[in-house]
């Protein structure tokens, strides 16, 4: 049977979502989209020409017969800005789906979770399919789902950093505890090995832009990311029984520390240095 990703009322065969920013030309962007095999492309509504048909737009270079456009609210710093931007995207005919961003810090582009939850609640009630970009926080992810999120998109590292997964434990816990909606890693993936690791953790998909667009050979990187996502997904589906039961293990090892899920002395989590 085909391995299908289902979000709300749509199905996708590719689990790689791509972007439209930072490419050296629209033509290069189109070649990368084709090489990636992706079926979803995200577009920053506030950074693209949507109304003046006399001017070239990146929308003109997206194969809309093959790719589904996912508008995003990049550069929105309040819930109100994000809500208005999502409504604009729907009004001009892009989609009633939105990759929701409410930015809380201009330098790191970390999300404003309070504003994100508010905007998710409003847009979901208005019939939008909301995919919020958030941090790797289990409690916040649950609040977003309660607010109506159709999927949750935790970051692996700051947007555009290419640092790879910075908190493996948090992403593991999110995957283990969040089963109601798909989880899609968004931001921070730097190279193909990062993508494979994220998928091997059990994530339902990955959204990336800079890792492809800023590569020396962006088309080859797009192809590499395609195969990395597929390989990681296959590895996840064929894990051993022991690997599937993450929370039943006594400890999770993170470099030099072993973190016990039991309680240590003084009613605090037990954190112990491993025996050398």
Active site residues: 99
Put the strands of the sheet holding 184-186 in their side by side order. Answer: 153-154, 129-134, 97-100, 68-72, 40-44, 16-18, 205-208, 184-186
Contacts of 255 (CB under 8 A, 6+ apart): none
Residue owning tokens 């339902």: 204
Q: Which of 210, 234, 204, 235 is nearest to 222 (CA)?
A: 210
3-class SS shares of the chain: helix, strand, coil, % to 5:
40, 20, 40
Render the burial of 171-208: b for 16+ CB within 10 Å, e for the rest: bbbbbeebeebbbbbbbbbbbbebbbbbbbbbbbbbbb
């Amino acid at each position: 049977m085909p391995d299908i990703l289902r979000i709300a009322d749509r199905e996708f065969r590719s689990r790689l979502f791509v972007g439209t920013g930072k490419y050296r030309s629209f033509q290069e962007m189109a070649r990368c989209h084709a090489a990636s095999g992706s079926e979803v492309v995200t577009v920053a509504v506030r950074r693209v020409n949507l109304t003046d048909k006399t001017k070239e737009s990146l929308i003109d270079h997206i194969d809309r017969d093959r790719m589904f456009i996912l508008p995003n609210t990049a550069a929105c710093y309040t819930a109100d800005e994000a809500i208005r931007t999502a409504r604009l995207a729907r009004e001009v005919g892009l989609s009633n789906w939105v990759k929701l961003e409410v930015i809380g810090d201009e330098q790191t582009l970390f999300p404003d979770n309070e504003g994100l939850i508010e905007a998710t609640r409003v847009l979901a009630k208005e019939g939008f399919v909301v995919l919020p970009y958030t941090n790797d926080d289990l409690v916040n992810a649950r609040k977003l789902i309660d607010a109506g999120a159709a999927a949750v998109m935790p970051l692996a590292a700051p947007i555009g950093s290419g640092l790879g997964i910075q908190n493996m434990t948090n992403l593991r816990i999110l995957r283990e505890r969040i089963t109601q909606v798909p989880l899609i890693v968004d931001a921070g993936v730097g190279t193909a090995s990062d993508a494979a690791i994220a998928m091997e953790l059990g994530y339902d998909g990955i959204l990336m832009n800079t890792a492809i667009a800023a590569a020396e050979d962006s088309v080859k990187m797009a192809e590499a990311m395609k195969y990395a996502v597929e390989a990681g997904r296959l590895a996840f589906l064929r894990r051993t029984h022991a690997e599937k039961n993450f929370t039943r293990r006594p400890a999770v090892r993170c470099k030099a520390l072993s973190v016990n899920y039991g309680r240590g002395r003084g009613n605090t989590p037990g954190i112990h240095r491993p025996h050398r």
